[in-house]
Structure 1
Amino acid sequence: MTEQATDQDNIEAPKVEKTVGWWIAFGYDIFMMFIIVFNLFCLSANAFLMSEFGNWFFNEIQLPQVLHYYKTDLYPWVVKTESWFITFLIAELGIRWFIAIINKHHARWFFFPFIHWYEILAINPYLRFLRLIRVGIIAYRFHELGYKVVPDSIMKRVLFYYRVVMEEISDRVVITVIDSIKHELNTSSTHKKIIHNLVDHHREQFAQTLAEILQEALATELKAQNTAITNGVGQIVRQAIEDTPQLTQLLRLIPIAGSMIENQIQNIGQQLGENITQGLIDPFTQGNVQSPNSTYQLISTKLSQLNIDNQKLEELVESVVYESLESVRQQVKVKQWQIELEKNDQAKE
């Protein structure tokens, strides 16, 4: 099985204080497991013997007298014992319910029949097979206590198929719900209102998340590129001064000091560009992810308050909703039990 199942198998059985009451409950579970299995075995045998197939079978092996003896002498006792057994189950269930109320096993006194629904239904003669659920629960309880009532290989196999059944049922339910939502969005005239309500409900969360993203991504990158940006802007201003022919011609009219003044103006312009750029960048680099700066918060708030009564924006939001539903649907359709089965087959190879 999977590594998770292996880890669970390696977990030691929980230590339980084995008092007199514990041993009584333990012995009672064994007794109930035995009589339920024996009862179902007798009923299965009775169903076979009383069927047309049973008649044919005993005629074929030339023992019709045995079948006749069973029908005339033993069958009435089977009916009586089944009636007694049903009466016993009803009384036993009532006593356990009373004990559960006295000891407050559940939050409310009426929870007991809902938790033990399979036992109540199993009283019905047509639902006798549900008694096996109680046998399985008792066997699993013994398994958790460290008593290997059922071999590990069989237990793993049963748990695997239990997960298969539960996954298939849950997948069907989820896929049906998703398809119903998509159908409602496609056919309902109020689906736009639903989407608008969905967006309005998450505007504050969207603003907070966007501010944190801006603080984490943009502020960090601006800090990293701060020197390169300021130097770049300074070089641009210097180059702009150099590329201004009117200034160059004017400074050349000044003898000797003209070139020095031109160079000094270029340096001043470069520093001025760097300082202005630094001043523009600093407000965007302040703050942290937990407390984004006011600029990012303002930007995020304004963006979150956008009116989505716009065709393109509505189409975008609808696309996000539909694709999200489809992504969940595709993920649910992945059968985890098949993946587990393939892994087991590869491990055996």
Structure 2
Amino acid sequence: MINLSNLQKDKVSTAQVIADIGVLILVLINLTLIIFNFLFSAELVQNFLKTYLISFYDFYNVYIFKNFALIDLVFVGIFVTDIFVRWMIAIYLNTYHRWFFYPFVHWYDVLGCIPSFRSFRVLRLFAILYKLHLMEVINLSNTYIYKTLGKYFSIFVEEVSDRVVINVLNEVQGEVMKGSPIVEKIVEDVVRPRSNLLTTWLTKRVQVVAAKNYPTYKYELKRYVETLINEAVEKNAEIKTIGKVPIMGEFISQNLERAIADIVFNVVNQLVEDATTVEENRILKEVTEILVEALLIDSKSQEQFGMITKGMINEALELVKKQVAIKQWQLKELEEKEFGFSPPAQESIEEIEEEWEAEKTGIKPNKNPKRK
């Protein structure tokens, strides 16, 4: 689809496109002459022209073939002039960040002026088409060539970037496992400045876990406390002495044992309930702060923490490498084969899921007109 009305929006770009088309016509003429001149040098082609097109052969041989270097030089002169004019215009309009950027951006035009690199002149065609595409004069998005080039360019970029990322991660893993100070830097520069946040988070997690699991194990804890008290009482000489008192001794010792068990359990139970029900438990938070500080200060704990951190970083990097190694372009191809379309699809995955859900529930999904 061609939309010439967009050319009127930018007169400078329109003039450049018209100039590009004029140069493109010269490029096509020049390339045609180059190809035909190459074929004309073959004896078979010359014999054919001498036999069937003698007048054309004489004209081409005398005026073009023998003077081809001069004719091509005229084309080169036009192309060089075109480059310098465009360069001056780019400097005047401040198109690029530096005045000398133009020949690097339009390297194919510069190389095309060199006789040995004449084939680069055809790249001007693609440059003009891409410029028209950006100006929305033409739409190349749905063309087969554009999709194919975009697909393989994406594959190329993904493969190269994946290799680079994996190599970088391998280097990081090597530095970590060699005992690089990176682990110590993580502790000092990352963990320690966030120790307050870590303490608050750990306190909250302990409260949440205790509140969730304590009711389930409450009666088991009570039986465990009673068992411990029973064993302690049996080993206590004073309780045994009370039990030997005639008539009331055994009764008193048994009630004393139950009272001790109830007191200990009630104290433990109250501590756990306070830790789980109080929104900001000061004691639990202070205990957590002491644990975190001891972990960061104590040399032995720091060494153990360093070893744990190294293992965690190494495993995390391995997971990242596995994720990076997944070839997304292959997944897209499998998706295309499975669903029968390539992104951007005529129907999105969400629409398909809505249709599947509608088949299960019998309720028709609301169609969004913007999706069409």
Aligned partners of 1:282 and 1:248: how far apart in 2? 34
Paired amino acid for 1:332: V
Q: Which runs of 5+ in 2 are unaligned?
A: 51-56, 342-372
Q: What do residues 278-307 of structure 1 show as CA deviations (whole Å, max 9, x unaligned)? A: 354357445579xx9333233223323454
**Which residue in the other structure is 2:329 paired with?**
337
Structure 1 residue aligned with 2:286: 294
Distance (whole Å) between structure 1 residues aligned to residue 124 and residue 274 of structure 2: 72
> Which amino acid in the other structure matches residue 302 of structure 1?
A
Map of 2:242 onto structure 1: 250
RMSD: 4.3
**Structure number with higher relative contact order (C-alpha < 8 Å, ≥ 6 residues apart):** 1
CA offsets 1:128-167 (integer angstroms, 9 cap, x no match): 466456335314314xx37325653333222212212222
Structure 1: distance between partners of 2:144 and 2:285: 60
Of 39, 43, 48, the match for 1:62? 48
Contact 1:226-1:278 at 8 Å conserved across structures: no
> Is the alpha carbon distance of 1:47 and 1:282 closer, same or farther for their aligned partners in structure 2, counting shifts above 3 Å?
farther
Partners of 2:166 and 2:321 within 8 A in 1: yes
The reply to whether residue 31 of structure 1 matches residue 18 of structure 2 is yes
CA distance in 2, matches of 1:338, 1:216: 43
- Gaps in structure 1 of 5+ consecutive residues: 1-16, 102-108
The answer to whether the 8 A contact 1:171-1:332 is kept is yes
Q: Partners in 2 of 1:305 and 1:39 — Cα distance?
A: 77
The equivalences for 1:194-233 within 5 A come to 194-204=182-192, 207=195, 210-211=198-199, 213-227=201-215, 231-233=219-221
Alignment of 1:1-349 (within 5 A): 22-25=9-12, 27-28=14-15, 30-35=17-22, 37-51=24-38, 55-56=41-42, 59=45, 62-63=48-49, 65=57, 68=61, 69-72=63-66, 76-100=70-94, 110-111=97-98, 114=101, 117-119=104-106, 122-124=109-111, 125=113, 126=117, 128=121, 131=124, 134-142=127-135, 145=136, 147-148=138-139, 151-181=142-172, 192-204=180-192, 207=195, 210-211=198-199, 213-227=201-215, 231-242=219-230, 244-245=233-234, 247=239, 250-251=242-243, 253=245, 255=247, 259=251, 261-262=252-253, 264-281=255-272, 284-285=275-276, 286-287=278-279, 293-307=285-299, 316-348=308-340
Q: Who is 2:356 aligned against? A: none
In the aligned structure 2, how far is the partner of 1:321 from the partner of 1:263? 56
Question: Distance between the aligned counterparts of 1:301 and 1:319, measured in 2?
Answer: 21
1:322 to partner: Cα distance: 4.3
Q: 1:272 & 1:60 partners in 2: Cα distance?
A: 117
Q: Is the 8 A contact 1:36 1:135 kept in 2?
A: no
C-alpha displacement of 1:88: 1.6
Q: Is the contact made by 1:251 and 1:258 (CA closer than 8 Å) also made in structure 2?
A: yes
Change (3 A) 1:264 1:279: same
Q: TM-score, normalised by structure 2?
A: 0.65
